[in-house]
């Protein structure tokens, strides 16, 4: 293609872009692809997960501004562009029974109306490929599930001139992917490699929960080689200092082992308007050729 390739990654909160597909984005940026992260919410109701920052009154009182600044730092590290859709974080309800979601939050928005906001951004940016979450949200956070819902509607609607006519000139994205970076195959491979080297694995409890969970295996169609960008991924993740403990389990697997055992980030092709052969090693497979 003579036209510059464009990739849009739709995420629920600031930090999701750095924990899901960040090395992929950094790789494509290095190849000249224009990459835009669409962040649905400001992460206002996210807890401070880094124990070193818990109890900081300034952070607690200015969490929206703090997370926006963290997002700016991560964006610079990854070399991507980023846009806020402007919705309010729903929080993760806890308890039995679960409490109601807060009024006005993202997860309570009308799906078609919220999808219109994303359609407008798609028509402005004109991506060839869009990545988002599957119907489970990757994990069942209400904002992740809502992100899936509006992404699917927007992918179908963006190219239809009869839908959202106020949102700009129609644009038809060609492929839609679901992030599947935390898949069972990868987790098992890293877990076994750590134990084989006499190292402690952070994945034992994950695998136990998977054994009892009633969740089918996902159809992983696309493995994008991006090991050379794992360090950039981790640097972007650490920029979200309120969310990530630098001494936590995210960083327990030695970098060289990661690169050796599982040097890809993984996706599930959900929709394609171009011919492609599975499995793939490129989100733009079938697009570059045309």
For 68-103, the pLDDT digits (tens) are 999 999 999 999 999 999 999 999 988 888 899 999
Q: What is the pLDDT of residues 221-250, one digit of tens each?
A: 999 999 999 999 999 999 999 999 999 888
Fold (CATH) for 6-183+218-272: Rossmann fold (3.40.50)
Q: What are the strands, taking DSSP E only, across the chain?
A: 6-11, 34-41, 81-87, 129-132, 175-179, 222-225, 264-272
Q: What is the total residue count of the chain?
A: 290
Mean pLDDT lowest for which of 63-67, 147-151, 212-216, 238-242?
212-216
Average pLDDT, the chain: 95
9: which residues sit within 8 A by CB, 6+ positions away? 17, 21, 25, 35, 36, 37, 38, 80, 130, 131, 132
pLDDT reading at 289 higher than 90: no
pLDDT at 2: 58
Distance CA 234, CA 253 (A): 12
* 144 is known to lie in a ligand binding site: yes
Angle at 274 between CA 276 and CA 265, to 5 degrees: 55
pTM value? 0.96
Q: Label residue 123 by pLDDT band (50, 70, 90).
A: very high
Whether omega before 97 lies within 30 degrees of 0, making that bond cis, reads yes
pLDDT at 1: 46
User: 38 with 244: CB under 8 angstroms?
Assistant: no
* 252 is known to lie in a ligand binding site: no
Q: Label residue 3 by pLDDT band (50, 70, 90).
A: confident
How distant, in Å, are the alpha carbons of 122, 128, 253, 282 from that of 230?
A: 28, 24, 12, 17
Whether omega before 279 lies within 30 degrees of 0, making that bond cis, reads yes
Is the sign of the CA dihedral 191, 194, 196, 199 positive or negative?
Answer: negative
Give the three-state DSSP class for 221: coil
167-189: average pLDDT: 96
- Of 141, 247, 235, 139, the C-alpha closest to 183 is 139
Distance CA 148, CA 219 (A): 17
User: 270 with 174: CB under 8 angstroms?
Assistant: no
pLDDT reading at 216 higher than 80: no
């Amino acid at each position: 293609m003579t036209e510059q390739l464009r990739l849009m990654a739709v995420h629920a909160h600031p930090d999701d872009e750095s924990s899901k597909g960040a090395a992929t984005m950094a790789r494509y940026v290095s190849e000249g692809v224009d990459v835009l992260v669409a962040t649905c919410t400001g992460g206002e109701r996210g807890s401070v997960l880094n124990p070193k920052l818990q109890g900081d009154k300034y952070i607690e009182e200015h969490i929206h501004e703090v997370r926006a600044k963290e997002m700016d730092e991560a964006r610079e590290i990854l070399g991507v562009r980023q846009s806020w859709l402007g919705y309010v974080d729903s929080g993760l309800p806890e308890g039995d029974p679960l409490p109601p979601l807060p009024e006005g939050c993202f997860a309570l928005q009308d799906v078609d109306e919220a999808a219109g906001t994303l359609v407008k951004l798609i028509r402005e940016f004109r991506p060839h490929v869009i990545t988002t979450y599957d119907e489970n949200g990757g994990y069942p956070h209400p904002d992740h599930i809502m992100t899936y819902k509006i992404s699917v509607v927007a992918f179908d609607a963006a190219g239809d001139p009869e839908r959202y006519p106020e949102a700009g000139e129609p644009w038809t994205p060609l492929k839609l992917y679901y992030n599947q970076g935390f898949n069972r195959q990868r987790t098992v491979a890293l877990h076994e490699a750590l134990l084989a080297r006499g190292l402690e694995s952070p994945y034992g409890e994950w695998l136990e929960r998977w054994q009892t969970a009633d969740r089918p295996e996902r159809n992983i169609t696309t493995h994008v080689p991006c090991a050379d960008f794992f360090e950039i991924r981790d640097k972007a993740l650490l920029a979200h200092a309120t969310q990530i403990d630098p001494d936590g389990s995210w960083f327990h697997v030695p970098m060289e082992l990661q690169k050796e055992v599982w040097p890809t980030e993984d996706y599930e092709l959900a929709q394609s308007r171009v011919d492609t052969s599975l499995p793939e090693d490129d989100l733009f497979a079938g697009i570059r050729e045309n």
